[in-house]
Chain A
């Protein structure tokens, strides 16, 4: 395991160096989208239209913040990752067409995302779910917001972050998926050690 401090825009070379299990602290710009945001983004992109933000080299974050309006600015009260599997159906297209280099979420993603990471040079990382107050301290400010018609959590928030982390690489660009390996290990332990010890099966 290695630890990296990275800065956006993220280059393909840097991203391709990362391995599953590496820990990243990210400084720069992240853009949030949940499932409804992904759906809209994919629809726009498939019509050849542009997204409100050029996401090349940026990080895409599966998150819906709790925000507060202070004067004419927005302030993040707390923010944390949401379950990424809901975005699995969209992510290949998003990675391919936006040039985003890092996806941040929780809970893991599937083979299509892994395929996109390998092909286009991206990684999927997880942030410890639930650590929302800590993370709010890592958000410097809200740079912009789009698609507020989707509701506050589902809008596209453009955030400036400083040392956002710990982010663990769960899918790298070399074809490894940490959670899949973990499921396999767990299966082996259950079948070979836990069940025999309990006299199950």
Chain B
């Protein structure tokens, strides 16, 4: 493989991480602006105003939106005919190191056993990479998610009894949001996974956090479930940072896999309003296309 291709992919990935850190995706920003429109509590509005101002300043000055730049997670959907798959693991890791230095990102990976922080956001299994194989295509789609700590302390999973059913799932999700209160920096994105065991459920819940705000599940039944939950959560009344208001969640995403006859596992993951993600495609000819941050396509990579 020519080193120039490798260099280009590395540079493109550093840019992707930078875009995520400093430029909130438009679907999230628009949802925040809508929240500002619908709230009438003056304190809540002043908080939302500060958040929107912050988004603009971060973008203009290329500064991280939040000081907790999270842990670096990659979701890669890779075509079975994508020619550069062997390059990706090392590129994603090196890009994380370089982005940490350049943006800068806060070094957030602390070894559990030694307490050591290598200072570059890498470590055992880090950056985290989730692979998904897509049949019949020759490109790869790389999404980076910078997942902050505040919205992580409120994640949870449990095995319900099948008798508790979807009502039980709803209750579990609503209680999770209730107990989370202002900790995950609402308005949040709530993502729910349902399946045969907590591993499947949490995997689906975690992945739902990279779905854009406003994108409904393709199954109308599930989409309706999402809307019902969103309405219920927004009736709780927390509003931005618990200042009181109508928008506690920007969106609710649900995905599911079949349950086991004996189990109904549910997992809830949340992301804060600073839902920082960015996606790019790498084509078989080496071309790059940024899909969440199309302005980057104009800059020469």
Contacts and interface: CB of A to CB of B under 8 A. Distances in A.
A126 B181 CA distance: 14
Q: What is the interface residue range for chain A against chain B?
A: 35 or more
Size bin of chain B's contact surface: 35 or more
B290 interface: no
B171 A200 contact: yes
A190 B171 CA distance: 10
B242 to A, nearest CB: 5
Interface string A52-76: 0000000000011110100000000
B291 interface: no
Contact of B117 (A83, A151, A187): A151
B90 interface: no
A134 B237 contact: no
Contacts of B148: 130
Interface stretch (B56-64, B201-209, B258-266, B281-289): B56-64
A200 B181 contact: no
Nearest to B233: A194
B170 A107 contact: no
Nearest to A129: B185
A148 B142 CA distance: 37
B272 A130 contact: yes
B67 A80 contact: yes
B66 interface: yes
A128 B153 contact: no
A130 B275 CA distance: 10
B199 to A, nearest CB: 27
A107 B182 contact: yes
B43 A1 contact: yes
B167 A168 contact: no
Interface stretch (B4-12, B46-54, B130-138, B215-223): B46-54
Contacts of A130: 51, 54, 65-66, 148, 185, 272-274
A122 B78 CA distance: 55
Nearest to A84: B183
Nearest to B276: A130
Given A64-B67, A66-B69, A128-B241, 4 more contacts: A80-B67, A132-B65, A134-B54, A179-B182
Given A128-B241, A186-B238, A189-B237, A66 B54 contact: no
Contacts of A151: 117
B174 interface: yes
A128 B274 contact: no
Nearest to A183: B181
Contacts of A79: 67
B106 interface: yes
Interface of B: 42-43, 46-47, 50-51, 53-54, 57-58, 61, 63-69, 104, 106, 117, 148-150, 153, 167, 170-171, 174, 178, 181-183, 185, 228, 232, 235-238, 240-244, 272-274
Contacts of B185: 106, 128-130
A133 B50 contact: no
Contact of B63 (A63, A133, A198): A133
Interface in A104-151: 106-108, 126, 128-137, 151
B181 A189 contact: no
22 contacts: A66-B64, A107-B150, A107-B181, A107-B182, A130-B51, A130-B185, A132-B58, A132-B65, A134-B53, A134-B57, A151-B117, A183-B178, A186-B237, A189-B237, A190-B236, A194-B232, A194-B235, A194-B236, A198-B170, A198-B232, A199-B167, A200-B170
A65 B67 contact: yes
B241 A195 contact: no
